[in-house]
Amino acid sequence: MVTKAEKQFAKNFNIFDLPDVPTGLPPHLELQRTRAVCKNDAPIHPTSVLYSGAYASMGVDNSVRLEDFSEDFKVDVISLTETDMVFDMIGVPAGIANAFRRILLAELPSMAIEKVLVANNTSVIQDEVLAHRLGLIPIAADPRLFEYLSENDQPNEKNTIVFKLHVKCPKGDPRRKVLTSELKWLPNGSELVKESGGSTTKPKTYTSFSHSQDSFPEFANNPITPSFQDILIAKLGPGQEIELEAHAVKGIGKTHAKWSPVATAWYRMLPEVILLKEFEGRHAEELVNVCPKKVFDIEDMGQGRKRATVARPRDCSLCRECIREGVEWAKHVDLRRVKNHFIFTIESTGSQPPDVLFNEAVKILEDKCERVISELS
């Protein structure tokens, strides 16, 4: 007959509490959970296992915990220039990395030319094509210093930037290139007259600036210009002329691609190249030569012995040349991707530095999370 003590023991019994029972996942399941293994034809186990009870039968808690995330999450900047930034984002699922990518492309604001007022255009480029080309020129202006211009707002010094373009190719001269360096910032607003007033009334222009923009400390010693001075706008033949005003406003890439402050933003999982055996002599040289990205290198072991080593795993593009069919060493090379380690690249258009863009993307994602939490609470 089962006693009360035996019933209590059976209720509280956990096989993983026994000293001779191994803890954690078996090696093959741990590899499946943390790595995407790349085979010759296709990768296997590419998706992350986010279900909290996926390994409950083995005594492993797979739930997402804030404490674990805070401990594991890390951002390491690999390189940073005025327009490019490469950094490692460690300890996050692919969904978080993709959220940053989408925010950078579609939700970060920037300044771009929205309205073009053409006074004269005798070039071969139609007005609408010329306006489209002007709209795609990146403007080096911090959008945080400006407000959005809605349909009911009047253009003023807080929501509009005005540029003037007036170029002419005299008759008898060779063809002339019109570059972005000839776009001149008008800090006092539009100079084109919209309505002519009387003798005592000031003519009304297309903007109503109450203060000159260069009187603001942000622009006093830092005039607003296109990000690059050598972008080709048009070519003029002898006798042709372009005279126009371009008005730039604040917007986001979700509305139009011209407001996207990044040329591109992308990420890839960290490559992991494992040699399952030592490659020496001829095999080592063949392995080094077959890789177009020069991932492998030769190590001199002394006494005439040389072996192959994995010298630059980050450069692996997963071309699979080292594991293609017919290669005798293919089964001894293992190509993997680390599922929670992403190499993130941001290429700015020049309107703002890439590190500033990433910081702004973090703020936007934080605001989204706070709105969700407030709606659920």
Residue 362 neighbours by CB under 8 Å, 6+ apart: 100
Tens digits of residue pLDDT in 187-211 = 999 998 876 655 556 778 889 898 8
Nearest to 139 by CA among 225, 216, 256: 225
Residue 154 tokens read as 């009047």
CA distance 94 to 272: 17
What value does the CA radius of gyration of the chain take, rounded to a whole number of Å? 31
Per the CB < 8 A criterion, the answer to whether 178 and 137 are in contact is: no
292-329 tens-digit pLDDT: 999 999 998 888 888 999 999 999 999 998 888 777 77
What pLDDT, in 10s, does the model give residues 93-123? Answer: 999 999 999 999 999 999 999 999 999 999 9
Which residue do the tokens 């739930």 mark?
63
pTM for the full model?
0.85
